[in-house]
Amino acid sequence: MATYSIPVGPLHVALEEPMYFRVDIEGETVKGLEISAGHVHRGMESLALQRNYFQNITLTERLCSLCSNSHPCTYCMAVENVAGIDIPERARYLRVMADEIKRLASNLFNVGIMAHTIGFNSLFMHVMEIREQAQDIKEGVYGNRMDLAANCIGGVKYDLDDGIESFLRTQLEEMKRPLDEIYQIYAKDPLITARTKGIGILPKKDAVRLGVVGPVARGSGIAYDVRDKAPYSAYDQLSFTVQTEEAADVRSRALVRLREAMDAISLMEQCLERMPKGPTVPDCLPEIPPGQSVARSEAPRGELIYYLKSDGTDRPQRLKWRVPTYMNWEALHAMMHNCKISDIPLIINSIDPCISCTER
């Protein structure tokens, strides 16, 4: 059979962001893959060194739109670690809330796009409509549909009042039933299962070898979640299960994401129940001494690590981040081995790639 290479990307109908794949094909089957990145490099690590600690809160929030809360949150944690700042109790819960609403919307977006890639557009629209309620929460509570601007060094910038709290409770309650409903569809619908079951398999052994993180790891049966392994904010006070699936295919990753979206609602409700009253920020400006620190968190796409080196000035000497997608890229080689051409977009989407934060 003839072997030839086809390009997928950097601009492609099924890819939401630019990435170039050179795929070697034998008939309809993928035999080799080469990934090249760098189309949206913006030099943000360098930009961060030219901005002071406050400005970097905003800059890191612009790294990626879907994990936009995880970045400033982890950045602030890194700064707090180096400065020895303990954030107020109430701020811990408020940080969890901001993290979880983003996880909810991000995971729904990914499974929605999956339906779109399959060609099931009515389901895609339906999922996006459910996600719209999460967007309403973000806009109503935080003031923006994507960038929550919830974090600041030493705490959070926002607070809840009675009106906002009851708005939150109603919105969350309203999302529960539709979420259960679409979970059943993703799990059982013959059209969805036909396209996703047994596709893009990443065996547990390979997942461990490649060090994948987030729903990609959990979809391959690895129960690794930073919220559970090294709790930050108020996660040690809240109860949730680390969601895993054993089939290691596109479908398992989608189911993990959907169950995490449901957990996000429960986590936010727990926060509303347990959140103590009190301040949300310290009342003085922080002083950042020289030193180094690391902070990590569970972004919607997996473990996110921030490294900070300070030299006592008002700008970081070095700020570096290891984003979840960076770890998951390599797994595409394993997932796409011997797959069909038509499954390429589905498999790429199943790692929920975020190119803007990988290339920053």
Partner 1 sequence: MLPFLKILVRNIIKGPATEAFPFGDTFTPKRLRGRAELNPERCLACGICSHVCAGGAIAMTESADGRGMEFRLWHNTCTFCGLCEHYCPANAITMTNDWHLSHEQSEKYTCCEVQFVEYPVCKRCGKRMLPHLHQRLAKGLVGAVNTAEIMQICPDCRRLTSAMQQIKSKTCFSTDRSNS
- Residue 171 near residue 178, CB atoms below 8 Å: no
Q: Give the separation between CA 346 and CA 349, rounded to whole angstroms.
A: 5
In sequence order, which residues have a C-beta less than 8 Å from that of residue 134 and are 6 or more positions away? 101, 104, 105, 108, 175
Give the Cα separation of 248 and 198 in Å (integer).
8
Q: Which residues contact 298 (CB under 8 A, 6 or more apart)?
A: 70, 214, 225, 226, 227, 304
Residue number, 171 or 233, with CB nearest to partner 1: 171
CB nearer to partner 1: pick between 325 and 356: 356
Q: Nearer Cβ to partner 1, position 20 or 54?
A: 54
Residue pair 224/213 in contact by the 8 Å Cβ criterion: yes
Q: How far is the CB of 328 from partner 1 (least distance, A)?
A: 29
Q: Which is nearer to partner 1, 26 or 139 (by Cβ)?
A: 139
- Closest separation in Å from C-beta 139 to partner 1: 5
Structure tokens at 200: 């893009």
Rounded to a whole number of angstroms, the minimum distance from the CB of residue 321 to partner 1 is: 17
Nearer to partner 1, 2 or 285 (CB): 285
The DSSP-derived string for 116-152 is HHHT-HHHHHHHHHHHHHHHHHIIIIISSSS----EE
* Shortest reach from residue 50's CB to partner 1, in Å: 11
- In the complex, the smallest distance separating the C-beta of residue 61 from partner 1, rounded to whole angstroms, is 7
Decide whether 161 or 273 has the Cβ nearer to partner 1. Answer: 161
Nearer to partner 1, 212 or 288 (CB): 288
Q: In the complex, what is the shortest distance from the CB of residue 327 to partner 1, in angstroms, rounded to a whole number?
A: 28
Note the residues at the interface with partner 1 (CB under 8 A): 51-52, 54-59, 61-62, 120, 122-123, 126, 129, 132, 139-144, 147, 149, 152, 157, 164, 181, 184-185, 188-191, 285
- Tokens, residue 114: 């999956």
Compute the least distance from the CB of residue 67 to partner 1, in Å: 17
Neighbours of 250 (CB within 10 A): 29
Are the C-beta atoms of 248 and 216 separated by less than 8 Å?
no
Q: Encoding tokens for residue 213?
A: 């993180």
